[in-house]
């Protein structure tokens, strides 16, 4: 019951942001395009613009947004570039949130298994157990398919604080019978995202592939 209330509260906050300016929430409709290059070439990429600017501490939201707007596809930078910023508390919250958003938008994709996503996140310091929830009932807008009969939607609340700004990543998976019967789906999702599971016996949930990824961001920092 407690978990359900948490999920419902999150949905309410998403549906009625506290006077924040909305950035259009979107689901991920296009596949991520990853370049096949060596680790050495990846590290060279992040020594160039716009990555040099993105990695600077102390830049404004406007400067960060302008630099991010210059990113191109295919994705050439390593996922670790975004993780380093997201995990570093010396960056302001808005900067770290955007890093998490780019990590997902440029490296995570529909069709990826939850176990593979877990390896991509690699024990994230920016994420805590309390920031992970599961949608129990849809009361408002969701940036992914909200049909809970044949799907499950998890929410990653990105670096929440007292500021009314909200950044949420929604992960929708299909509900195979094995997951439908699993009373510990949220618990196992948390283990996968935080990397706290036994690597020799990962949760069965890790084999399930992501059906859709959605984002909801309100900006008022």
Q: Where residue 42 falls among pLDDT bands split at 50, 70, 90?
A: very high
Beta bridge partners of 157: 168
Rounded to an integer, the average pLDDT of 144-161 is: 93
Give the integer Cα–Cα distance in Å for 101 and 94: 11
Higher local confidence (pLDDT), 166 or 148? 148
Structure confidence at residue 176 (pLDDT)? 63
Beta bridge partners of 221: none
Structure confidence at residue 35 (pLDDT)? 87
Give the integer Cα–Cα distance in Å for 30 and 48: 26
Helix axis angle, 93-107 relative to 114-121, nearest 10°? 140
Beta bridge partners of 140: none
Rounded to an integer, the average pLDDT of 175-202 is: 84
Q: Supply the DSSP symbol for 20.
A: P
- Helices in 58-215 by DSSP H: which ranges? 61-68, 79-87, 93-107, 114-121, 177-180, 185-194
Q: Where residue 30 falls among pLDDT bands split at 50, 70, 90?
A: low
User: pLDDT of 163-188, one tens digit each?
Assistant: 666 789 999 999 865 654 567 899 99
Residue 156 has pLDDT above 70, yes or no: yes
Sheet-wide strand order for 151-157: 21-27, 212-219, 167-174, 151-157, 132-134
Average of per-residue pLDDT values in the chain = 84
CA 68 to chain centre: 17
Give the integer Cα–Cα distance in Å for 77 and 105: 13
Give the integer Cα–Cα distance in Å for 117 and 206: 9
Structure confidence at residue 119 (pLDDT)? 97
Q: Where residue 220 falls among pLDDT bands split at 50, 70, 90?
A: low
Residue 5 has pLDDT above 50, yes or no: no
| 3-class secondary structure, 199 | coil
Close Cβ partners of 179 (under 8 Å, ≥ 6 residues apart) = 152, 173, 185, 204, 205, 208
Structure confidence at residue 28 (pLDDT)? 55
């Amino acid at each position: 019951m407690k978990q359900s209330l948490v999920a419902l509260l999150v949905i309410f906050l998403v549906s009625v942001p506290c006077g924040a300016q909305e950035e259009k929430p979107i689901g991920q409709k296009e596949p991520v395009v990853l370049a096949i290059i060596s680790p050495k070439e990846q590290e060279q990429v992040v020594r160039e613009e716009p990555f040099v600017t993105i990695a600077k501490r102390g830049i404004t939201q406007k400067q960060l947004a302008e630099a991010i707007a210059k990113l191109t596809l295919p994705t050439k930078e390593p996922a670790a570039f975004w993780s380093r910023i997201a995990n570093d508390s010396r960056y302001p919250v808005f900067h770290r949130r955007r890093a998490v958003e780019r990590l997902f938008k440029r490296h995570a994709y529909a069709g990826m298994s939850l176990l593979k996503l877990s390896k991509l996140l690699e024990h994230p310091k920016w994420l805590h157990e309390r920031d992970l929830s599961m949608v129990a009932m849809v009361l408002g807008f969701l940036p992914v398919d909200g049909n809970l009969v044949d799907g499950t939607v998890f929410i990653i609340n990105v670096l929440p604080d007292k500021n009314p700004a909200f950044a949420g990543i929604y992960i929708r998976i299909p509900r195979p019978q094995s997951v439908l019967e699993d009373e510990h789906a949220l618990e196992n999702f948390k283990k996968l995202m935080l990397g706290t599971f036994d690597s020799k016996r990962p949760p069965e949930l890790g084999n399930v592939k992501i059906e859709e990824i959605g984002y909801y961001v309100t900006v008022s920092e």
